[in-house]
Amino acid sequence: MKKLLIFLMFILTTVSAFSATYKAPSEKYDFSSWKYETPKGSDIKNLSNYKNKYFNLGEEGDIVFAINPKTDGVDRNKNLLRNSNTWYIDYDHTLSLNMKVEVSVGSYEMNIAEIIGIDDSNKDVAPLVKIVAKDNNLYASVKNSKGTNEYTQIKEEIGQKYFTLKLKVEDKKVIVYVDGKEVLEKDVSFWEYKNSFRFGAYPQTNYGQYKVYVNSFSAY
């Protein structure tokens, strides 16, 4: 009997260690115009009470995107919220975020926000704009008329501190603001695709633990 009790206690302890309790971000945030692109290869449209180790509500009330591509056994590195509204660059649109990045390794690359293109068959094409956290700095990558990406450093030493990010499309231009300051403006009048906003943790490197914390967001 004593051995049986010890065995049962071991099982319960092991189960509890691997069954962390997560809170759903929908307890605080409205996702009615968003879907979640999961690391497991599926898209979740109803985020009411949805939670897991990749997507949850942090202790400080943030949306937490967490992923370790090497150890999590993911099907894709995407860990993103995507806005359901699509639009052309003929009209004005803005994505605003307050966020911070935590990465366990010194050398890394991760997309944290994008303007993703969509073709006539509703398939994704290469992003028009990528905001990239790379080796503790922040970059904007914008597609040009030749189909190549132009990289611009927009913030140094992001550390593990919050910053504000705004992606704005206006008069067929992309304008990027960091902490309220305009840091980039590019003409994208050549771009003919539909678009949508998305943000979160999308590692481009396959090692390390990646976390993105977001405590406010809006898209319009």
* CATH code for the domain in which residue 131 is found: 2.60.120.200
**Listed range (6-15, 79-88, 201-210) with the worst mean pLDDT:** 6-15
Of 78, 108, 100, nearest to 159 by C-alpha is 100
d(C-alpha 131, C-alpha 139), whole Å? 6
Tell me, yes or no, whether 70 lies in a domain: yes
DSSP alpha helix (H) spans, the chain = 2-17
Task: State the residue range of the domain holding 163.
Answer: 63-75+83-219
Number of domains in the chain: 1
Q: What's residue 70's pLDDT? A: 82
Q: Is residue 182 part of a domain?
A: yes
pLDDT in tens, 34-60: 999 999 989 999 999 999 999 999 999
The answer to the question of residue 55 being in a domain is no
Residue 22, in any domain of the structure: no
Q: Averaged over 150-166, what is the pLDDT? A: 96
What is residue 123's predicted lDDT score, i.e. its pLDDT? 95
Look at residue 18 and tell me if it is in a domain.
Answer: no
Please check whether residue 136 lies inside any domain of the structure. Answer: yes
Specify if 149 maps to a domain. yes
One-letter amino acid identity for 139?
Y
Residue 143 has pLDDT above 90, yes or no: yes
In a domain? residue 128: yes
Q: Residue 68 and residue 21: Cα distance in Å, rounded?
A: 19
Predicted TM-score (pTM) of this structure = 0.89
Strand ranges, E, within 144-193: 149-155, 163-170, 173-178, 181-187
